[in-house]
Amino acid sequence: MKQKTTRTGSRGPSGRGDGLSVRLKTARGRKASSQRWLERQLNDPYVQAAKSKGYRSRAAFKLIELDDRFHLLKQGARVLDLGAAPGGWVQVAQERIGANGKIVGLDILPMAPIAGAELLEGDMLAPETPERLKQALGGGADVVLSDMAAPTTGHRATDHLRTVALLEAALDLAEDVLRPGGSFVGKVFQGGATGALLARFKQVFATVKHVKPPASRAESVELYLVAQGFRANSRACPGKQTA
């Protein structure tokens, strides 16, 4: 049976009335959860804008909004994107750092090529990874990005702890590859980085902020930790284990 829809005006990422709201009238053979997901996708102005601009994911707009606020991606910068698949953040970083910059994306999953970017398949926890990344970047990174989150279980506290563990692993790697004064962006869930991990961030970076960009869905519990002013000599810090 052909799907029926109705359309009404809605606002897009620009804030203008440039989107269309779609309501599905029939859902024969479709689960209620699938119906809600499909309606959300059809009604999400960031999904439509990502398609029109050629971005691989709506998450590209989260990085655009973070960079507009914090000015992370400067011309000629070296940028590392951890958990880069499918590549939306790589695309944004590449646009903003220009032809003289260098963008390297790392993911445990293979990614389709992006012209001008170096995409690596590998495990960020592997001992050889930091040196491999520095070689790919041609030196230390000015910015390390991570939009990684652990697969959700539906239990909010568990999901938060698992994503914080990923954030800590990303910080471990960032400390190995960042240049002095560099920046880090990582995903956390509601509650953000706390305790020893937050103390560690504050020891290692000059400024640390939790931010929810407008492109993050209102119902989502995700936040982003933005840390700037990397102190390369602050290796021995609270929460950091040394051999």
* 125 plus 171 within the same structural domain: yes
Running DSSP on this structure, what letter comes out for residue 207?
A: E
CB atoms within 10 A of CB 53: 14
CA-CA distance, 95 to 87, in Å (whole number)? 13
Claim to verify: residue 18 and residue 116 sit in the same structural domain: no
| Helical spans, DSSP H, in the chain | 32-43, 45-53, 60-70, 88-97, 129-137, 156-177, 195-204
Q: Please, are residues 223 and 208 in contact by the beta-carbon 8 Å criterion?
A: no
* 130 and 217 assigned to the same domain: yes
pLDDT reported for residue 240: 41
Query: Where residue 205 sits, what CATH number does that domain have?
Result: 3.40.50.150
pLDDT of 207 reads 98
Instruction: In whole angstroms, give the CA distance from residue 204 to residue 218.
Output: 31
Q: Report yes or no: 170 and 186 within 8 Å, Cβ to Cβ.
A: yes
| Domain tally, the chain | 2
In this structure, are 24 and 79 located in the same domain?
A: no
Claim to verify: residue 200 and residue 218 sit in the same structural domain = yes
20 and 118 belong to one structural domain: no
pLDDT at 179: 97
Same-domain check for residues 46 and 69: no
Residue 235 placed within a domain: no
Domain membership flag for residue 197: yes
* Distance from C-alpha of 178 to C-alpha of 228, rounded to nearest angstrom: 11
pLDDT score, position 30: 55
Tell me the residue range of the domain where 138 lies: 60-230
Residues 47 and 67 in one domain: no
pLDDT one-digit tens code per residue, 105-124? 999 999 999 999 999 999 99
Q: Report the predicted TM-score, pTM, of the whole model to 2 decimal places.
A: 0.80
User: Which pLDDT score, from 0 to 100, does residue 237 have?
Assistant: 39
Residue 191, sorted as left (phi over 0), alpha (psi -120 to 50) or beta, turns out to be left
What pLDDT, in 10s, does the model give residues 55-92? 999 999 999 999 999 999 999 999 999 999 999 999 99
What is the rounded distance in angstroms from the CA atom of residue 92 to the CA atom of residue 197? 28
Residue pLDDT, tens place only, 24-34 = 455 555 565 55
Ramachandran assignment for 124, one of left (phi > 0), alpha (psi -120 to 50 degrees), beta (any other): alpha
Angle at 83 between CA 81 and CA 89, to 5 degrees: 50
Predicted local confidence at residue 242, as pLDDT: 33
Low-confidence ranges of the chain (pLDDT < 50): 1-10, 16-20, 22, 24, 35, 37-38, 236-243
If asked whether residues 81 and 34 sit together in one domain, one would say: no
181 falls within a domain: yes
Catalytic residue numbers read: 187
Would 240 be classed as within a structural domain?
A: no
Q: Do 70 and 9 sit in the same domain of this protein?
A: no
Q: Is residue 242 part of a domain?
A: no
CB 82 within 8 A of CB 63: no
Looking at the structure, tell me whether residues 162 and 139 fall in a common domain. Answer: yes
Query: Does any domain span residue 241?
Result: no
In a domain, 121, yes or no: yes
Same-domain check for residues 13 and 120: no
Decide if 237 is inside a domain.
no
Residue 241's pLDDT is what? 36
